[in-house]
Amino acid sequence: MTRILGVLGLLVVLYTTLIASHPNAGKLDNLIGVANLQGRFGIITLGAALVIIVGGIDLSVGAVVGCSAVLFGVMMNDGIHPFLAVPIVVAFGGIVGLTNGLLITRLKLQPFLVTLCGMFVFRGLARLLGGTLGQASIIEGHPDFRDPLRTLRYLLIGKSPSDGELLFPAQFVLLLVLAGVVGFFLHRTAYGRYWYAIGHSELAAKYAGVNVSRQRVAIYMTCSAFAAFTGVLLFLDAPSVQSDNAGFAWELYAILGAVLGGCSLRGGEGTAVGMVLGAMVLPVLENLVNFRGDASDVIPVVIGLTLLLGAIVDELIRQRSRVHK
């Protein structure tokens, strides 16, 4: 609870500073743009956070996002209809997660190691698949894909079919919907109980008759499927994607969002609301740095220090509450 209030407080401070920083910052256009980014990061945060809750880690998220975005483009280039390509890409993510999950649960490999390897493999795969891909070139090759692509772009990104202007933060809406589903499973069903139990004490779950491996695999599949879907969003939103940097380092943004939102890296902790709030921090922060006119090089430093500060405050609160127990 304190964690949620904490990140909520941080968001209030960030938004206030942002709006005060520049007259254009508070305009609806800008806020919608920020919300759209929050939505996209939020979706991978949900997946990463679930993995963290069951006591794992997924470092392959960013590479899967990139690989999926490229795969999406390549498939359409080869004439696969956009409406068909989306589910195929998501299924690709599911298979990636299945592989991660099976390696971790059956061969007992460490999640860090498995997904670190995945990070290289899928980044490399993206580069093998293609270099730079954009919607314009696809439409050039397949004029009949123009309308389906525009429909997808409107539904999933919120961009106008006619002029491509951002009308509403569809990615944020998607985040809320998915967070609702995640929250439902996490807080209202037996599966959620298992995930918390597994993350905190795998043995306790096992002795209670929970099929720990199956739950873990399901979570890794969810995480990678979310990442793959985010790849689709990235492709639809950007004029073009480049295989060597699409989604680069996003796994860290996802982990960051999860931790800011109250997931403990030790596992067994975290809420759906927290994940959404945690994922909202980074895009605001970036936007704020941009509006202040600071060099964009300063962004990583600001992010790092903000998280560190958060961690320190969190630990101080934790220690204090322990003394008062």
Partner 1 sequence: MTTPRLQVTAARKEFPGVIALDGVSLTLAPGEVLAVVGENGAGKSTLMKIVAGVYQADAGDVLLDGAPIHFAGPGDAVAAGVILIHQELNLAENLTVLDNLFLGREVTTGGGLRVLNRRAMAERAAGLLKRVGLPASRIFARVESLAPGEKQLVEIARALGTDVRVLIMDEPTSSLTQRETETLYEVIAALKAADVSILYISHRLAEVKQCADRAVVLRDGRNAGELAKADITHDNLVRLMVGRDLKQFYPKTHRTAGGGTPVLTLRGLRYRGGPETAASFEVRAGEILGMAGLVGAGRTELSEAVFGVRPIVAGELLLNGQPLRVSSSADAIEAGVLLVPEDRRLHGLVLAESVGFNLSLPNLARLSSRFGVNRSEEADLHRTWIERLRVKTPSAAQPVGLLSGGNQQKVVYGKWLARGPKVLILDEPTRGVDVGAKAEIYALIDDLAGKGVAVWMITSDMEELLGMSDRVVVMHEGHVAGELQGTLTEEAVMRLATGGTAT
Q: Tell me how far, at minimum, the Cβ of 2 lies from partner 1, in Å.
A: 14
Six-digit token string for 73: 């483009």
Binding site for partner 1 (CB under 8 A): 188-191, 193-194, 196-197, 199-201, 203-211, 268-269, 323, 325
C-beta separation of 30 from 90 below 8 A: no
Nearer to partner 1, 257 or 270 (CB): 270
Nearer to partner 1, 81 or 214 (CB): 214
Amino acid at 19: I
Q: Tell me how far, at minimum, the Cβ of 107 lies from partner 1, in Å.
A: 18
Q: What is the DSSP letter of 317?
A: H
CA distance 33 to 35: 5
Nearer to partner 1, 196 or 253 (CB): 196
Q: Tell me how far, at minimum, the Cβ of 5 lies from partner 1, in Å.
A: 19
55: phi then psi, degrees, rounded to nearest 5: 80, 20
C-beta separation of 254 from 146 below 8 A: no
Nearer to partner 1, 210 or 277 (CB): 210
Nearer to partner 1, 55 or 283 (CB): 55
CA distance 247 to 232: 11
Q: Tell me how far, at minimum, the Cβ of 108 lies from partner 1, in Å.
A: 15
Amino acid at 208: A
Tokens 């069903």 sit on residue: 189
Q: Tell me how far, at minimum, the Cβ of 324 lies from partner 1, in Å.
A: 10
Nearer to partner 1, 186 or 246 (CB): 186
C-beta separation of 269 from 263 below 8 A: yes
Strands 132-134 and 240-242: antiparallel
Q: Tell me how far, at minimum, the Cβ of 87 lies from partner 1, in Å.
A: 21
